[in-house]
Amino acid sequence: MKAMAALVLGFSLTAGVALAAVEDEIRARIAPIGDVCVEGEDCGDIATADAPAAASDEPRSGDEVYASACQACHTTGAAGAPKIGEQSAWADRVEKGRDTLVTHAVEGFNAMPAMGGCGSCSEEEIEKAVDHMLSQLE
């Protein structure tokens, strides 16, 4: 009987140690990966990053807008977009005039969404992007 009690006690201790190890592993996996430090609070030795640079109030150039928003379709011809620099693809469009091209780019036309799909672009930037693409035809 004493042997049986010793055996049960041994299994219990072993199971308790194993359970504690599993609980430690779980705590490690769900531990926070960082701390939040609010400006103005003493955060001790927590490293803080500088604030991002303020966005410029100046509109982006046509080349910048083209590279960030227009290039995907106007380089590949996706969804029927005329490829930049391809005279024959632009000929009928150019005949309608620059103002019509700008209006189509701003309001959307056929498969092209409004603002050329650039949610962060101003109308002035879209106009500059159209001018950039037209300048590639010369």
Is the distance from CB of 89 to CB of 136 less than 8 angstroms? no
pLDDT beyond 90 at 134: yes
Question: Can you give the pTM of this predicted structure?
Answer: 0.60
CATH architecture designation of domain 62-135:
Orthogonal Bundle (1.10)
**Under 8 Å CB-to-CB from 73, ≥6 apart: which residues?**
79, 81, 112
Other residues' Cβ atoms within 10 Å of the Cβ of residue 100: 13
Measured torsion, CA atoms of residues 22, 25, 29, 34, in degrees rounded to the nearest 10: 140
Q: What would the pLDDT profile of 95-106 be if each residue is shown by its tens digit?
A: 999 999 999 999
Q: What would the pLDDT profile of 42-73 be if each residue is shown by its tens digit?
A: 777 666 555 555 566 788 999 999 999 999 99
Q: Copy the structure tokens of residue 15.
A: 């199971």
State the pLDDT at residue 48.
Answer: 57
Q: Copy the structure tokens of residue 127.
A: 């106009």
Domain spans, the chain: 62-135
